Amino acid sequence: MQLESNVLRRGNRYGLILVDMCVGFTNPALSPLASNADSVVAANQQLLAFFRERNWPVFFTTVAYSDESQATVFREKLPALNMLQVGSGLEEIDARLAPQEDEPVLVKHWASGFFATDLHEKLQATGVDGTVVTGLTTSGCVRATALDSLQYNYRTLVPREAVGDRDAAAHEANLRDLGIKYVDVLSLEETLQFLA
């Protein structure tokens, strides 16, 4: 039997969460974790402009480690994460998406932007009941953050062009699965129309 997904009702106020749009994931010349993400950066630039124009809340996440005791099992599974050291420059948000002073950059050690961070509390403080989750990578930290967004009871949107992955098949499979069971996966244009 085929499951049917329902499009979520529109929330009252949305926050934008840009997951790991840092140099370590956007610059393949510097990091094996990165992919050619120029189109993902461009889509996020559009979303940032949309949210900033309306003075809606924006949050960034990045991954950065400062000692060997942090996320040991995750780093054992994916040793390339060890490159993302505090001060390496790879943890810096891509300059094309430079955060403004009032846009927090949350440092995380695991996949989800919510796990062991104060993202939920920051979202609550801004009065949002919905999130738009974007960034890198679709099958990893984007998926984990989108799932936790749902589990914190936010109406969650994932704009297709604003997320990316090193593995095209994993990207498509995860977007399909997320859209069927957990969040609304829309095109960038549909997302902007929905929010407007």
- Evaluate whether residue 6 is within a structural domain: no
Q: What is the pLDDT of residues 4-54, one digit of tens each?
A: 556 668 899 999 999 999 999 999 999 999 999 999 999 999 999 999 999
Domain containing 155 — which CATH number? 3.40.50.850
User: In this model, does residue 2 exceed pLDDT 70?
Assistant: no
The whole-number pLDDT of residue 4 equals: 54
User: In this model, does residue 1 exceed pLDDT 50?
Assistant: no
Residue 61 phi/psi, 5-degree rounding, is -120, 155
- Evaluate whether residue 7 is within a structural domain: no
Q: What is the full DSSP assignment across 78-124?
A: SGGGGG-BTTSSTTSBPGGGPPPTTS-EEEESSS-SSTTSSHHHHHH
Q: What is the pLDDT of residues 35-48, one digit of tens each?
A: 999 999 999 999 99
| Contact yes or no for 12/196 (Cβ under 8 A) | no
- Evaluate whether residue 8 is within a structural domain: no
Say whether 141 is catalytic: yes
Owning domain of residue 36: 14-195
Q: What is the pLDDT of residues 138-163, one digit of tens each?
A: 999 999 999 999 999 999 999 999 99
- Of the candidates 9, 7, 15, which has an alpha carbon nearest to the alpha carbon of residue 132? 15
Domain count, the chain: 1
- Evaluate whether residue 3 is within a structural domain: no
- Evaluate whether residue 9 is within a structural domain: no
| Contact yes or no for 142/163 (Cβ under 8 A) | yes
Distances in whole angstroms, Cα of residue 194 to Cα of each of 56, 128, 157, 187, 189 = 15, 16, 10, 10, 9
> Annotated catalytic residue: which of 97, 141, 144, 158?
141
Amino acid at 169: A
Q: What is the pLDDT of residues 170-188, one digit of tens each?
A: 999 999 999 999 999 999 9
Q: Report how far residue 64's alpha carbon sits from residue 115's, in angstroms, rounded to the nearest whole number.
A: 14
Q: What is the pLDDT of residues 61-71, one digit of tens each?
A: 999 999 999 99
pTM across the whole model: 0.96
Q: What is the pLDDT of residues 83-118, one digit of tens each?
A: 999 999 999 999 999 999 999 999 999 999 999 999
- Evaluate whether residue 41 is within a structural domain: yes
Rounded average pLDDT over 109-129: 98
Rounded average pLDDT over 114-142: 98
- Evaluate whether residue 44 is within a structural domain: yes
